[in-house]
């Protein structure tokens, strides 16, 4: 019998080839993304962590360290301080409450309210002279930076059109943000 020029593949090789092909199909970008959790690649921001504190301590509106070293915690209901302390330590880790302790400060807004308004307020960045928009957890406000006082009125007008309470926003004059220049090595 004369050989046909074809070589029969061993069954194990064929099985491995089929498995590898199936794995490649499953792992292509579209199928892989469908199997991954929605936020698998999203890094948590500081604001995300603060929102986690609010979920565990309703009424939480931010925090800051005072000059005396105590942690000031914005709360709509000051009686929620023990829950807020526990949530802060759960989210930020043991020892995140300074040795000087923590105390409640009357907060007007929650983190979720401020986060929603900050996202909406981002539209003012399209106006000339607007430098930044930030959820300012140390002041329990949305902060908007403008290059000079002449920029305040257009910003405030746009914020009002976005249904953001005027009292929830601090518009402040600040220097423009300059890009960091990298030095050649």
Region of 93 on the Ramachandran plot (φ > 0 left; ψ -120 to 50 alpha; else beta):
left
Domain boundaries, the chain: 46-106, 111-173
Q: Residue 123, Cα to own-chain centre: how many angstroms?
A: 17
What's the rounded mean pLDDT across residues 7-14?
39
Architecture of domain 111-173: 2-Layer Sandwich (3.30)
Q: What is the pLDDT of residues 90-122, one digit of tens each?
A: 999 999 999 999 999 999 999 999 999 999 999
Residue 180 pLDDT level (bands cut at 50, 70, 90): confident
What's the rounded mean pLDDT across residues 160-182?
90
DSSP characters over 4-45: -S--PPPHHHHHHHHHHHHHHHHTSHHHHHHHS-TTTTPPPP
The residue assigned the tokens 């007008």 is 157
Q: Is the pLDDT of residue 4 over 60?
A: no
User: Which residues make Cβ contacts (< 8 Å) with residue 69, sequence separation at least 6?
Assistant: 98, 99, 100
Q: What is the pLDDT of residues 117-154, one digit of tens each?
A: 999 999 999 999 999 999 999 999 999 999 999 999 99
* pLDDT, position 38: 56
Cα(68)–Cα(101) distance, rounded to whole angstroms? 10
Cα(26)–Cα(35) distance, rounded to whole angstroms? 9
Cβ 81 vs Cβ 130: under 8 Å: no
Residue 32 pLDDT level (bands cut at 50, 70, 90): very low
DSSP-derived 3-state class of residue 95: coil
Of 59, 53, 49, 108, residue with least CA distance to 80: 59
Cβ 84 vs Cβ 55: under 8 Å: no
């Amino acid at each position: 019998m004369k050989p046909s020029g074809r070589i029969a593949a061993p069954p194990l090789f064929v099985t491995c080839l089929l498995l590898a092909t199936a794995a490649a199909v499953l792992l292509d970008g579209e199928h892989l993304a469908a199997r991954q959790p929605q936020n698998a690649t999203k890094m948590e921001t500081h604001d995300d962590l603060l929102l986690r504190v609010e979920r565990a301590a309703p009424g939480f509106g931010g925090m800051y360290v005072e000059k005396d070293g105590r942690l000031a915690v914005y709360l709509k209901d000051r009686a929620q301080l023990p829950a807020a302390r526990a949530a802060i330590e759960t989210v930020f880790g043991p020892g995140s409450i300074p040795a000087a302790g923590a105390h409640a400060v009357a907060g007007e807004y929650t983190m979720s309210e401020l986060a929603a308004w900050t996202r909406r307020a981002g539209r003012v960045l399209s106006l000339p002279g607007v430098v930044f928009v930030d959820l300012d957890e140390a002041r329990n406000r949305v902060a908007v930076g403008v290059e000079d006082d002449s920029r305040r009125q257009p910003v405030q007008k746009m914020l009002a059109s976005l249904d953001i309470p005027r009292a929830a926003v601090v518009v402040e004059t600040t220097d423009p943000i300059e890009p960091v220049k990298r030095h050649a090595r």
